Amino acid sequence: MKKKLITAMVLLLSMVLMVPSVFAASDLPKDHRFYEEITYLMDKEIVTGYSNGTVQPDRVVTRAEAAIMIARLKGFSSAPQETKFSDVPKSHPASGYIAEAVKAGLLSGYPGDTYKPDAPIIRGDMAMIIKRVFDLGLTGQWEFKDVSSNMKAYDAVQTMLLGNITIGYPDKTFRPNLKVTRGQFSAFLARGMEPKFKNDATIPNSYLRDKTKVYVLESGGERVTHTYKMHTIDPTLPKEFMWVLENNVNSNVTANVESESYDGYTVGFPYSESYTDLAYPVKAGKEFVYKYLGLYDKEMRTITGVNKTVATKYKTFTNATEVTDAKGTKHYYVEGHGKVKSVQPSGAVYELVEVR
């Protein structure tokens, strides 16, 4: 029985490798949750369909299929070759892809020199793969109830969240042992490649900004343009997506990272601390820690109003959340726009002036 199952899996994999990538899949309707992501990867010949005209987006993705997609994304050779794994001979349809991905350090096997090509990918392993494929190194403060610091996937899950590739579940879990479908794996890859797909990794009523747009904020005559793009703050580190801030007065270029979980919305630096701008659920009178000043000291902020009307040079918003800090400065946040205005007790204003 086991031999027949392995033969069937190899045959199925062979069918995938033989089919041209650009075709209309009979089982991928336009209203499928991951239609755009799968179509995007099919157009780039990273995902292929089966000879029967299907793409099977809801079928669990195997370790062999994951290797194929990753190798195609990276442009690795598909030529069959010997591998170091006893269960992946040169004759295996994915031998070349697996060997190349392993050589590049993107995938690894199991003790006993096995790869388990037909085993399913689980979310914890998927997070580690995505981190390696896209050289993710962002750090943050969010935690999932079911991902502890002693787990292998801990850092990878954090970077996935900071990289706006995943958001987890409403019960504040990540579910690292849950099997990943072909559609889900496609979505994670697409989000790592294109900012527009990262916009889907959000909670309902998100305050995260649209990563395909440019935001300009002004204080006096000083304008800062925020653009989401590949960047690095250190030439020794790989480039990855982050918000790049360019100042029109002193030509300074800095960067920050927005992140969000079901606990709140933060803005911080790519590889160090971040601060909680909003704690969820948003409710007037809610007090929260903006940042820690030391071992015991902390700076508190309070949500002092919801659905407030606030005028900016860009437009007038009627659904702003008002947050007041310890110095009396009022900060205004709007869903889909992040911070749109700050007003200091002195009257100094920092506000959104343009979105393009």
Binned at pLDDT 50, 70 and 90, residue 289 comes out as: very high
For the stretch 80-134, pLDDT in tens is: 999 999 999 999 999 999 999 999 999 999 998 999 999 999 999 999 999 999 9
Q: What average pLDDT score do residues 43-54 get?
A: 88
Q: Say how many C-beta atoms besides its own lie within 10 A of residue 340's C-beta.
A: 23
pLDDT for 25 beyond 80 = no
Identify the weakest region by mean pLDDT among 25-29, 35-39, 89-93.
25-29
| Single-letter residue type at 167 | I
Examine residue 170 and state whether it is found in any structural domain, yes or no: no
**What distances in angstroms separate CA 238 from CA 131, 134, 156, 230, one per listed residue?**
12, 9, 16, 9
Pair (229, 282) in one structural domain: yes
Domain count, the chain: 2
Pair (21, 58) in one structural domain: yes
If one compares 52 and 95, the residue with the highest pLDDT of the two is 95
**What distances in angstroms separate CA 109 from CA 71, 117, 236, one per listed residue?**
16, 9, 29
Examine residue 143 and state whether it is found in any structural domain, yes or no: no
Binned at pLDDT 50, 70 and 90, residue 266 comes out as: very high
3-state secondary structure of 124: helix
Q: What are phi and psi of 6, to 5 degrees?
A: -65, -45
Q: What share of the chain is helix, strand, coil (3-state, %, to 5)?
A: 25, 30, 50
Pair (187, 226) in one structural domain: no
What single-letter DSSP state applies at residue 239?
-
Examine residue 146 and state whether it is found in any structural domain, yes or no: no
**What pLDDT does residue 311 have?**
98
For the stretch 62-72, pLDDT in tens is: 999 999 999 99
**What distances in angstroms separate CA 242 from CA 134, 135, 256, 269, one per listed residue?**
13, 13, 6, 9
Identify the weakest region by mean pLDDT among 7-11, 132-136, 200-204, 323-327.
7-11
Kindly tell me the sign of the dihedral angle through the C-alpha atoms of 108, 112, 117, 119: negative
Region of residue 56 (phi > 0: left; psi between -120 and 50: alpha; otherwise: beta): left
Pair (260, 114) in one structural domain: no
Q: Say how many C-beta atoms besides its own lie within 10 A of residue 264's C-beta.
A: 19
The H or E element spanning position 258 is strand 253-261
Return the structure tokens found at 79.
């030529």
The H or E element spanning position 229 is strand 222-231
Q: Please write down the long-range contacts of 288-292, taking CB distance under 8 Å and 24 or more positions apart.
A: 288/264, 290/325
Pair (189, 310) in one structural domain: no
If one compares 19 and 354, the residue with the highest pLDDT of the two is 354
**What pLDDT does residue 131 have?**
95
Examine residue 163 and state whether it is found in any structural domain, yes or no: no
Examine residue 100 and state whether it is found in any structural domain, yes or no: yes
Using a 10 angstrom Cβ sphere, with 0-12 exposed, 13-18 middle and 19 or more buried, the burial of residue 75 is: exposed
Pair (194, 253) in one structural domain: no
Pair (115, 9) in one structural domain: yes
If one compares 340 and 1, the residue with the highest pLDDT of the two is 340
**What pLDDT does residue 46 have?**
94
Binned at pLDDT 50, 70 and 90, residue 23 comes out as: low
Contacts of 236 (CB under 8 A, 6+ apart): none
If one compares 256 and 22, the residue with the highest pLDDT of the two is 256
Contacts of 149 (CB under 8 A, 6+ apart): none
pLDDT for 11 beyond 50 = no
**What pLDDT does residue 24 have?**
62
Contacts of 6 (CB under 8 A, 6+ apart): 118
pLDDT for 151 beyond 80 = yes
pLDDT for 6 beyond 80 = no
Examine residue 223 and state whether it is found in any structural domain, yes or no: yes
Dist CA 309 CA 150 (whole Å)? 46
For the stretch 311-324, pLDDT in tens is: 999 999 999 999 99
Q: What are phi and psi of 93, to 5 degrees?
A: -55, -25
Binned at pLDDT 50, 70 and 90, residue 143 comes out as: confident
Residue % of the chain over a pLDDT of 90: 78
**What pLDDT does residue 228 have?**
97
Pair (267, 323) in one structural domain: yes
Mean pLDDT, rounded, of the chain: 91
Pair (259, 317) in one structural domain: yes
CA dihedral 228, 232, 237, 241 (to 10 degrees): 0
For the stretch 163-213, pLDDT in tens is: 999 999 999 999 999 999 999 999 999 999 999 999 999 999 999 999 999
Pair (184, 232) in one structural domain: no
Q: What average pLDDT score do residues 249-260 get?
A: 91
Query: Among residues 198, 225, 250, which one ends one of the domains?
Result: 198
Examine residue 347 and state whether it is found in any structural domain, yes or no: yes
pLDDT for 13 beyond 70 = no
Query: Among residues 137, 169, 198, which one ends one of the domains?
Result: 198
Pair (186, 56) in one structural domain: yes
Closest residue by Cα to residue 158 from 142, 173, 169, 174: 142
Dist CA 47 CA 69 (whole Å)? 6
**What pLDDT does residue 22 have?**
46
Which residue bears the tokens 């195997």?
A: 62
- What is the domain extent for residue 36? 2-121+179-198
Pair (245, 183) in one structural domain: no
pLDDT for 51 beyond 90 = no
Dist CA 147 CA 351 (whole Å)? 38
**What pLDDT does residue 15 have?**
46
Examine residue 154 and state whether it is found in any structural domain, yes or no: no
Q: What average pLDDT score do residues 244-261 get?
A: 92
Query: Among residues 198, 227, 260, which one ends one of the domains?
Result: 198
pLDDT for 4 beyond 70 = no
Contacts of 46 (CB under 8 A, 6+ apart): 21, 69, 72, 73, 189
